Structures are given as C-alpha cells and as structure tokens.
C-alpha cells in the first residue's frame, strides 16, 4: 500500500485550515446542488397520527417495497415520499372510510446517513456519515489504497434521483498534496467512491442507476 508522505500533524493542520477557509461548507465538487426534503425509505419507522380518530394511530416499519399497513386504510405506499406527501397519501386513502381525516406522519427512526467506498481499497464497505467527511478521509477510513489502485482516477458517484447519478473523476493523488488539500470534496449521504485498477478512458457525466443501484454501477466501473 502506498503511504501518504505528509506528516499526520501537518495533514490535520491543512484540513483544519481548509475547513476554516470554507466555514459554510461550500460545495467545491462541481456537482449540481441538491437540496431536498427527506424522503421515506425502506426500514424507516414512521408514526401515523389521526387527529380526530386517535384509535387508528399506528407506528409502522416501511417494508422493502415502500408500503406500510394501517388498519383503517390498508396498505399505503409511502416509500419515496416526503413526510407531507405521505400524510396526504394516507389521508386520501383513509377518506374512503373516514370523514375529512387529518393525518400527520412523523419519522421515528430512519436509515442512517452513509457513504460507500468500493474497489481497490483495503477495507471496502459502507460507512456511517458522521459530521463532515471528505474524499481523502473516506479513503483513510476504508484502510487506504491498495498497490493496484489508480489514485488519480477515483470515481465519485452522487445520486440526482432514484434513476440517475452524477459522475465525477477525482484525482486523489493530487488532492493529498499540500497545494490541493483545500480542494478536497465533502461527501454527502449515499455518495459512493469507486477506486479502479485501470485508467478509465471515457465516462459519462450522468449515468442511469435504475435497478442496478450505485453498487451495481460500481462493479461495472472497477
């Protein structure tokens, strides 16, 4: 494994200086900004409250297909919806049996933010995204590069929506230098870093995710 030659104290000083130079966490990645409300995912736990008929209140785990079951409503698909949209969907369906129902959905527990590092690192896998994590830090968390890695052609996949992800080639070999450390990219939930073996000659800026998911795309890019 190639070792980073920058002393650890100097490296930490550089990353701290970079953070101080960018206190607002401005995105230097070049990706399209994506500010969205949280959308319900499988394995989330939601609490459904009926204002006028609390006897129908329920706490439910979202099934892998995105549905939850409610006694007065039956099965309702809430996966992929915001909490407001889920409330409206349940109220609409409950309207067949209740008069002008008012429904509020609260998020009780949710899938924790995470990122994935795949390919030529020593410990590929899924890691919790706690606080601010950059691409360089993500590689360190995954055990560092293997000798077979192409450090100058690391691929960063970032979801746009359920169907598409943006793609960016990151030169982490340069990023680890004192001159470029300030340009290190801050990861977002669901980001994936793919460290390939060989140089990639051509890569589209946006790829279709579809049923493959980011992990499936990562396998094809290795």
The answer to whether the predicted template modeling score (pTM) of the entire model surpasses 0.85 is no
Segment 95-116 mean pLDDT: 93
Query: Do 127 and 105 lie in a common domain?
Result: no
Domain boundary among 109, 131, 154: 109
Per-residue pLDDT at 11 exceeds 50: no
By DSSP bridging, strand 192-195 and strand 114-119 are: parallel
Domain count, the chain: 2
User: Distance between CA atoms of 125 and 103, rounded to whole angstroms?
Assistant: 39
pLDDT of residue 203: 55
Query: Do 22 and 119 lie in a common domain?
Result: yes
Per-residue pLDDT at 23 exceeds 50: no
Q: Name the β-bridge partners of 130.
A: none
Asked if 106 and 45 count as a contact pair (C-beta separation under 8 A), the reply is no
Question: What CATH number does residue 181 fall under?
Answer: 3.10.560.10
The set of residues, in sequence order, having a beta carbon less than 8 Å from that of 34 and lying 6+ positions away, is: 158, 160, 188
User: Distance between CA atoms of 24 and 10, rounded to whole angstroms?
Assistant: 23
Domain boundary among 109, 127, 147: 109
Asked if 57 and 49 count as a contact pair (C-beta separation under 8 A), the reply is yes
Segment 101-117 mean pLDDT: 93
How far apart, in Å, are the Cα atoms of 134 and each of 5, 45, 176?
19, 29, 11
Domain assignment present for 1: no
Where residue 216 falls among pLDDT bands split at 50, 70, 90? low
User: Distance between CA atoms of 178 and 134, rounded to whole angstroms?
Assistant: 15
Q: Residue holding tokens 């006897």?
A: 55
Dihedral (CA of 202, 207, 213, 214) sign: positive
Least confident range of 21-25, 66-70, 148-152, 171-175: 21-25
Where residue 210 falls among pLDDT bands split at 50, 70, 90? low
Per-residue pLDDT at 146 exceeds 60: yes
Q: What is the pLDDT of residues 122-141, one digit of tens each?
A: 999 999 998 899 999 999 99
pLDDT of residue 119: 92
Question: What CATH number does residue 70 fall under?
Answer: 3.30.1950.10
Segment 186-215 mean pLDDT: 72
Per-residue pLDDT at 197 exceeds 60: yes
Domain that holds residue 96: 45-109
Segment 169-180 mean pLDDT: 88
Q: How much is the mean pLDDT over the chain?
A: 81
């Amino acid at each position: 494994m190639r070792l980073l030659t920058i002393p650890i104290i100097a490296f930490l000083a550089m990353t701290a200086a970079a953070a101080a130079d960018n206190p607002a966490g401005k995105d230097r990645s070049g990706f399209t900004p994506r500010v969205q409300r949280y959308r319900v995912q499988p394995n989330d736990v939601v609490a459904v409250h009926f204002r006028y008929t609390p006897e129908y209140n329920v706490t439910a785990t979202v099934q892998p297909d995105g549905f939850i079951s409610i006694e007065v409503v039956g099965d309702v698909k809430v996966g992929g919806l915001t909490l407001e949209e889920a409330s409206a969907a349940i109220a609409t369906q409950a309207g067949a049996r209740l008069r002008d129902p008012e429904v509020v959905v609260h998020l009780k527990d949710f899938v924790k933010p995470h990122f994935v590092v795949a390919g030529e690192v020593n410990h590929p896998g899924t890691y919790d995204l706690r606080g601010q994590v950059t691409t360089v830090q993500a590689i360190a968390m995954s055990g560092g590069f293997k000798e077979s890695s192409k450090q100058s052609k690391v691929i960063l996949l970032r979801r746009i929506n359920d169907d598409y992800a943006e793609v960016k080639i990151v030169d982490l070999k340069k990023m680890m230098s004192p001159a470029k450390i300030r340009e290190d990219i801050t990861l977002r939930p669901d980001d994936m870093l793919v460290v390939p073996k060989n140089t990639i000659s051509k890569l589209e800026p946006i790829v279709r995710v579809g049923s493959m998911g980011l992990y499936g795309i990562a396998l094809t890019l290795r």
